[in-house]
Structure 1
Amino acid sequence: MTPQFEIDHQGLTPTPAPEVPGARRGGRVVLLADAPPEHVDPTQMYIGTTLGVATGLFHRTLTGYVESYDGGPRRLVGDLATDTGRSGDGGRTWTYTLREGLRFADGTPITSYDVAHAIARSFGPNGVYGPQFIQQALDPQRTYRGPEQDGPTAPGVATPDERTLVFSLPEPTPGFPFFATTTTTTPVPADRDTGAGYETSWLATGPYRVREFVPGSHCLLERNPHWDPATDPIRHQYPDEVLWEFGVPRDAQTERLLAPEGADRAAVATFDVAEHRVAEVLADPELSARVVAGPSAYLQYVYINTRRVTDVDVRRALNHAFDKGTCVRLAGGAAGAERAGTILAPMVPGYRADDVYPSGEHGDPLTAKELIAGKELRPLVFAYPDTAPNAPVAPAVKAALEAAGFEIELRPVDKAAFYSLMGDADNDCDLIYGVWGPDFPDASGVFDVLFRGDRLTRGGNMNLSYFDDPEITAEIAALAQEPDRAAVAGRYADLDRRLMAEHAPVIPVYYKRQCTLYGPAVGGLFLSAQYFVPNLTRMHVLG
């Protein structure tokens, strides 16, 4: 781990979370989102912007992160649990004790059985699109198919009493406390589990609960009276209400916050400043003071579907031909992005500056043409989320690749369904424009998810390159089991280069940076080092 990270093994982090100086209770904050979330069911959630809202406001997990607003280290702590987990056998067995006084939004107690049920359901159809770390750790062969088919208890999960969970794993798993931060561990009571209907009937465990939900329009959150701050080392409950407003494009979010009036004075964008407004915002002292900005561990890729684009020289040619510079400009220039050359972003341990395909700012079509000379090429489908920011990106991608001799078919896809559709192994897309950032500050959070072929399934894949090489998979698996994470950073850097040089399963386009506006009546915001959106745990309305 980096020096900017700590683990509270002993459970010493105070509860309640320390008060924010000057913060007051009351008021309404408006969160502006370009589209409704694909999923809000905790075992189905896996998009960073949604997770930033959910884990800050209404979904809690066994462990979580206390993030620093002033440049200090990020800390892994017990959230629902009293600590980050206890293991005396090298990481094969992990024991957690729930805090006393935990309750769902309807007032019923939260027990270990609710966490165990959530994990069990994540193995079935109601966990297809969510994180898979805990499932893979418990049952690497994935023989258990969820409570609907194979009984109520997932393999390796025991609940000796209503506050204790014991996880028994077939292999040493030193990273399990990080796996426990995922919403796979958000409690779901079996008697309230409505299956697919839990997308709208979920019970909150954090400081806010749903008062009103209008599909496609908004979700109005109110205080959860059954949330006890004495059980929570991470969150606060300052605003009376939080309105999560959907369908506000990037440009509209920016325009509403340049000179906000009325409710927009307490609004927060969840998308970067519009590209054509970045220079204006950064040059204006008043506006730049209302910006959450900084580097992130997220990276914009083009995933090359290796099941469809099987010739590695074609994949190499795509890397050479790609126009990264235009994509950086359309992302907001230096304030929003930096041209990438590696699979790992600079903030992830294991990153080493490199570029296997150094092709200049706008690509190298001549080198690409040499690699594909004499090959019979079919048209390639470039799929991308159908959003306003991507509207100019798609034709720029098409122009650059076609200048190198490719034929590109553009396919815009509804953002609200993009990753679900692309995660279907039978999709017919060749190039997929997607973003990824690790779930925890470790390179395994990238390689295990994006490139382990033994974890490909029929649906819910995040390995959107559909890459499956036994040697690479074995190396990724071995690296993930190494207990000294700092010591393996260099090996991850070597793997990064090898994967790009020998297989080229992705085009790393740019390292994402955050540059997000908020209204002058909102206080307590800072950049989340976990989700790289505004951290909402200290958010309050200024008097």
Structure 2
Amino acid sequence: MASNKKRMLAVTAGALLASTALAACGSDDDGGTKGEAGAKGGTLYFVNDTPIDHWDPQRTYVGTDISKQSRLVYRELVTFGTSEDPAESATPLPDLATDTGTSTEGGKVWQFTLRDGVKWQDGKDITCEDLKYGFSRNFATDVIVGGPSFYPLSYLDVPADADGTPQYKGPYTKKGQDLYDKAVTCDGKTITYNFNKPWPDFNLAIAALHFASPYRADLDEGDKSNYQIFSNGPYKLEGSWDKASGGTFVRNDQYDPKTDETDSRKALPDKITFKIGTKLETMYDSILADTGEASCTVSDRRLPPSKFSEIPALEEKGFYQNPESPYVDYLWFNTEKLPLEVRQALATATNREGWITAGGGERSYIPAYSVVNPSVAGYKEVSTFKDIPLAGDPDAAKKILTDAKIKTPYKIELRYPQSDTADKQAAALKETWDKAGFDVKLSPEGDVYYSNIQKPDHNYDVGWAGWGADWPSPMTVLPPLFDSRANITSGSLGQDYGKYVGKEFNEKISEAQNATSLDDSIAALQEADQILADDMVYMPLEIAKFNWVTGSKVDFHTTPGSNSFPDLGLIGLRDGGC
């Protein structure tokens, strides 16, 4: 989940969302920062200390990156607007399509019709075939990895192989192409999707993610397309994208605002320059100094705890926001490698209190008792996690190992994405784990961490991850994280980093997916979460809070539709800009 990084998507539960997070975004009554509104023009600088994993829409599964793409370069059939009202923000709006879709057969069939006049950056029309091809890329699980392919693979009406994966293997091999062509069809500008079970909120899924984005077959180079940004939105990439340093976006002259009835693409800056690779603390030293380019700078990386002494002054000026996010950070355990008792002992000795303190305390986190965020409908604390003391219980953990006759010290390696703060948090975990009878090695990684934990052959013991609901539905948490049937393929573990294959859990997910009422579905999901706790598949840590600080010339906005991250569709520059 990203700084909450690997898959932090904040479009949690619209009408289901108790939006404590975004009400606190600004210092004025209207939710914005103090000062005049942003004007059109100037250059906005967007800084980040770590590389962006993907610009390929089908491979993007990080909330802040989904938001950037939606607001700047990629349009969807439907999208979310900019309202801060929970119910309104969860209502899809027509975007590339003429309406929000037509559903028949109880949600098993969906149709959308493309509007006239929508074009790619080279002036060519976006076609139904572009939509069909884009959707097909999800099935090339050995090439298009890292994205939310769990959903298309689970729902599309394509027969399955013996291992449960679809017989269609994507557009590069074309194996099973005839099966795909029956499931997704084009008739002029109308595309039809046929599913194997009801998907009543499919249009919400399209609005929230990019797995259904149109893609040009003639431009597709598979894995080489990861940073080849080809726009149909208000901006286009100038030159090429450099993973290590970033790139600059300028106005796309083929984008016609008249074809865009949403309110999410004001496209105020003339240019948006992304700068990648500056150390987090150095980056914020510059923003806090607020001179030159820094006064026109925004980041989707939270203010680090080392800078929290600056907060009172920032609050007084109106340049600090501290919303509670819809994301939960958690530890995953390699269920294929670690015995149940080892996983239970690790969870019992987990020092959430120390983790939170090292990460900045109550300004950064509140404790979590499930991987499901409390804002999601059907949330229920899992007693197994609630009963573990926040500081951990090393003595109880040691007894679990002793009773199971597990030889100690038991060697454990913790992997996580490196940062100064994460190093301190990992050290807090190591302290109580070592006391419990473990010999813990801390192994931080750089940007390769996220791709490494999705490799089916990884041999990691324990790792860190984070999650927020994919769209306003409780079905978008446990299934995409732990349902092995669509997650674990030869090319990727999806989000099932701990390689969990739980027959009872999978059956409970099927029960939830086929339930005839929301109450029955929620009840099945709550039982599924308890199964995960009994199998000790994960250990919840905390619910992340954001700490946003910008340069003084930035008219800052964040909305549910931007996944609680800086909303580049609304942000402009004031006082003459830069």
Q: Could you say whether these structures have the same fold, taking a TM-score greater than 0.5 normalized by the shorter chain as the test?
A: yes
- The residue matched to 2:272 in structure 1 has which SS? strand
Matching residue's letter, 1:215: K
Q: Is 1:255 aligned to residue 285 of structure 2? A: yes
Q: Residue by residue, what CA displacement relative to the aligned partner does 1:310-348 show, whole Å, maximum 9, x if unpaired?
A: x22221211110111122123222121111121211122
Q: Which residue of 1 aligns with 2:432?
A: 400
Per-residue deviation at 1:222? Answer: 0.6
Number of residue pairs aligned between Structure 1 and Structure 2: 526
Instruction: Give the Cα–Cα distance (whole angstroms) in 1 for the partners of residues 16 and 484 of structure 2.
Output: 32
Q: Does 1:521 align with 2:550?
A: no
Pick which of 149-158 and 422-431 moved more.
Answer: 149-158
> What is the letter of the counterpart of residue 144 of structure 1?
Y
Match of 1:434 in 2: 465
- Give me the whole-angstrom Cα distance separating, in 2, the residues matched to 1:150 and 1:255: 51
TM-fit CA distance, 1:393: 2.0
3-state SS, counterpart of residue 46 of structure 2: strand
Question: What displacement does 1:76 show?
Answer: 2.0
Query: Per the alignment, in what secondary structure is the counterpart of residue 464 of structure 2?
Result: strand
Matched, 1:229 2:241: no
Q: Any conservation in 2 of the 1:524–1:539 contact (CA below 8 Å)?
A: yes
Contact 1:303 1:465 in 2 (8 A): yes
Aligned to 2:28: none
- List aligned pairs for 1:152-231, cutoff 5 A: 154-181=180-207, 182-212=209-239, 213-231=241-259
Tell me which amino acid in the other structure corresponds to 2:96.
Answer: L
Shift of 1:41: 1.1
Whether 1:118 aligns to 2:134 is: yes
Any conservation in 2 of the 1:45–1:129 contact (CA below 8 Å)?
Answer: yes
User: Is the Cα–Cα contact under 8 Å of residues 249 and 272 in structure 2 kept in the other structure?
Assistant: yes
1:276 counterpart residue number: 306
- Counterpart check, 1:30 vs 2:45: yes
Show the counterpart of 1:3.
15
- What residue identity is the alignment partner of 2:44? V
Contact 1:292/1:534 (CA < 8 Å) preserved in 2? no
- Please list the CA deviations of residues 390-421 of structure 1 after superposition, one character each: whole Å capped at 9, or x if unmatched: 12222222222111111112222222x21211
Indicate which of 521, 525, 540 corresponds to 1:492: 525
**Do structure 1's residue 342 and structure 2's residue 373 form an aligned pair?**
no
More RCO (CA 8 Å, sep 6+): 2
Establish whether residue 143 from structure 1 lines up as the match of residue 167 from structure 2: yes
Q: CA RMSD in A?
A: 2.3
Among residues 396, 414, 424, which one is paired with 1:367 in the alignment? 396
Who is 1:76 aligned against?
92
1:479 pairs with 2:479: no
Encode CA deviations 1:150-202: one digit per residue, 9 max, x unaligned: 26673544443342110011222223223323211221111121222212323
Query: Counterpart of 2:473 in 1: which secondary structure?
Result: coil
- Contact between 1:60 and 1:79, CA under 8 Å: does it hold in 2? yes
TM-score between both structures, scaled by the size of structure 1: 0.91
Which range moved further: 162-171 or 273-282? 273-282
CA distance in 2, matches of 1:517, 1:351: 31
Structure-2 change in CA distance of 1:452 and 1:119 (3 Å): same
Q: CA contact under 8 A between 2:550 and 2:556: conserved in structure 1?
A: no
Is 418-427 or 171-180 further displaced after alignment?
171-180
Aligned equivalents of 1:216, 1:386: Cα separation in 2: 16
Q: Is 1:107 the equivalent of 2:123?
A: yes
- Range with greater deviation from structure 2 (320-329 or 489-498): 489-498
Residue identity in the other structure for 1:46: Y
**Structure 2 residue aligned with 1:14:** none
What residue identity is the alignment partner of 1:238?
L
- SS in structure 1 of the partner of residue 154 of structure 2: helix
Aligned to 2:451, the other structure's residue is in SS state helix
1:508-536 Cα shifts (integer Å, max 9, x gaps): 01111111111111115124466231222
Structure 2 counterpart of 1:186, one-letter code: S
One-letter amino acid of the structure 1 residue matched with residue 243 of structure 2: P
What does residue 15 of structure 1 align with?
none
Task: Give 2:9's aligned residue.
Answer: none
Does the residue aligned with 2:101 lie in a helix, a strand or coil?
A: coil
- Corresponding letter in the other structure for 1:300: D
Q: Distance in 2 between matches of 1:257 and 1:459?
A: 41
Q: Contact 1:209 / 1:222 at 8 angstroms: preserved in 2?
A: yes
- What is the aligned partner in structure 1 of residue 65 from structure 2? 50
Give yes or no for contact 1:59–1:204 (8 Å, CA) kept in 2.
yes
CA 1:73/1:487 → structure 2, altered by over 3 Å: closer, same or farther? farther
Measure how far apart 1:542 and its partner are: 1.2
**Gaps (5+ residues) in structure 2?**
1-12, 19-31
- Match in the other structure for 1:381: 413
Instruction: Report SS of the residue matched to 1:171.
Output: coil
Q: Does 1:531 align with 2:558?
A: no
Provide the C-alpha distance between the structure 1 equivalents of 2:99 and 2:373, rounded to a whole number of angstroms. 29
User: What displacement does 1:80 show?
Assistant: 1.8
Q: Is the 8 A contact 1:134 1:179 kept in 2?
A: no
CA 330–532 in structure 1, closer or farther in 2 if over 3 Å, else same: farther
- Which consecutive residues of structure 1, in runs of 5 or more, have no partner in the other structure? 7-19
1:308 aligned residue (312, 331, 337): 337
Deviation of the 1:50 alpha carbon: 1.9
CA distance in 1, matches of 2:112, 2:220: 23
1:351 to 379, 394, 416: 379
The C-alpha deviation readout for 1:58-81, integer Å capped at 9, x for no partner, is: 122222211324677312223222
Shift of 1:52: 2.2
Sort the Cα spacing of 1:126 and 1:110 in 2 relative to 1 into closer, same or farther, 3 A.
farther
What SS is found at the alignment partner of 2:477?
A: helix
Instruction: Identify the match of residue 144 of structure 2 among 107, 124, 127.
Output: 127
TM-score (norm: length of structure 2): 0.86
1:287-314 Cα distance to aligned partner (Å, 9 max, x none): 5x223431222111110010011x2222
CA distance in 2, matches of 1:529, 1:389: 28
Partner of 1:13: none
Partner residue of 2:296 out of 263, 266, 289: 266
- The letter for the 2-side match of 1:366 is D
1:89-108 Cα deviation digits (max 9, x unpaired):
10111001112211111111
Secondary structure of the equivalent of 2:384? Answer: coil
Kindly state the Cα deviation for residue 359 of structure 1 after the two structures are TM-superposed.
3.0
Report how far residue 486 of structure 1 moved.
Answer: 5.8
Structure 1 residues 218-227 or 406-415, which shifts more? 406-415
Q: What per-residue deviation string (whole Å, max 9, x for no partner) do you get for residues 17-45 of structure 1?
A: xxx99542101111111211111111111
Compute the displacement of 1:282 (Å): 4.3
Amino acid aligned to 2:299: A
Compared CA separation, residues 503 and 56, structure 1 to 2 (3 A): same
What secondary structure is seen at the aligned counterpart in 1 of 2:465? strand
Would the aligned equivalents of 1:296 and 1:513 in 2 still touch at CA under 8 Å? yes
List per-residue Cα deviations over 1:109-139 (Å, max 9, x = no partner). Answer: 1111111111112211442221111232113
Match of 1:201, SS state, is: coil
- 1:476 CA displacement: 1.0
SS at match of 2:389: coil
Distance 2:520 2:266 in 1: 37
Change beyond 3 A, Cα 1:473–1:291: same
Output one character per residue of 1:353-412: Cα deviation in whole Å (capped at 9) or x when no partner: 344143333211011111111213541221111223212222222222111111112222
Q: 1:268 Cα deviation (Å)?
A: 0.6
